[in-house]
Amino acid sequence: MSVITLTLNGELISGLTGQTLLEIIQEHDVEIPTLCHLDGISERGGCRLCMVEVNGRLTASCVTKATEGMHVNTHTDKLIKYRQMLMELMFAERNHICAICVMNGHCELQAMAARLGMNSVRYDYLNPDLPMDASHKRFVLDHNRCILCTRCVRVCNEVEGAHTWDVKGRGIASQIVADLNFPWGSSPSCTSCGKCVQVCPTGALFEQGMTVAEMEKRHDFLPWILGGREKHEWNW
Number of domains present in the structure of the chain:
2
Q: 18, 45, 75 — which closes off a domain?
A: 75
Instruction: Identify whether 50 is part of a domain.
Output: yes
Helix residue spans in the chain (DSSP H): 21-27, 77-93, 108-115, 151-155, 195-199, 221-230
> Are residues 11 and 42 both part of a single domain?
yes
CA 220 centroid distance within chain: 15
Q: Which of 12, 57, 79, 6 is nearest to 20 (CA)?
A: 6
Instruction: Identify whether 224 is part of a domain.
Output: no
What's the CATH code of the domain at 133? 3.30.70.20
> Are residues 115 and 61 both part of a single domain?
no
> Are residues 108 and 59 both part of a single domain?
no
pLDDT at 120: 93
> Are residues 71 and 99 both part of a single domain?
no
* pTM, two decimal places: 0.95
Would you call 236 helix, strand, or coil by DSSP? coil
Instruction: Identify whether 152 is part of a domain.
Output: yes
> Are residues 102 and 198 both part of a single domain?
yes
What's the CATH code of the domain at 56? 3.10.20.740
pLDDT at 235: 65
> Are residues 131 and 191 both part of a single domain?
yes
> Are residues 104 and 215 both part of a single domain?
yes
Q: Domain range holding 71?
A: 3-75
One digit per residue, pLDDT tens: the chain, 236 residues? 799 999 999 999 999 999 999 999 999 999 999 999 999 999 999 999 999 999 999 999 999 999 999 999 999 999 999 999 999 999 999 999 999 999 999 999 999 999 999 999 999 999 899 999 999 999 999 999 999 999 999 999 999 999 999 999 998 899 999 999 999 999 999 999 999 999 999 999 999 999 999 999 999 999 889 988 888 886 65
Q: 16, 42, 75 — which closes off a domain?
A: 75
> Are residues 39 and 118 both part of a single domain?
no
What are the residues whose beta carbons fall under 8 Å from the beta carbon of 99, sequence distance 6 or more? 212
Instruction: Identify whether 80 is part of a domain.
Output: no
> Are residues 18 and 120 both part of a single domain?
no
Instruction: Identify whether 86 is part of a domain.
Output: no
> Are residues 194 and 157 both part of a single domain?
yes
Instruction: Identify whether 189 is part of a domain.
Output: yes
**130 contacts 204 by C-beta, under 8 angstroms:** no
Instruction: Identify whether 226 is part of a domain.
Output: no
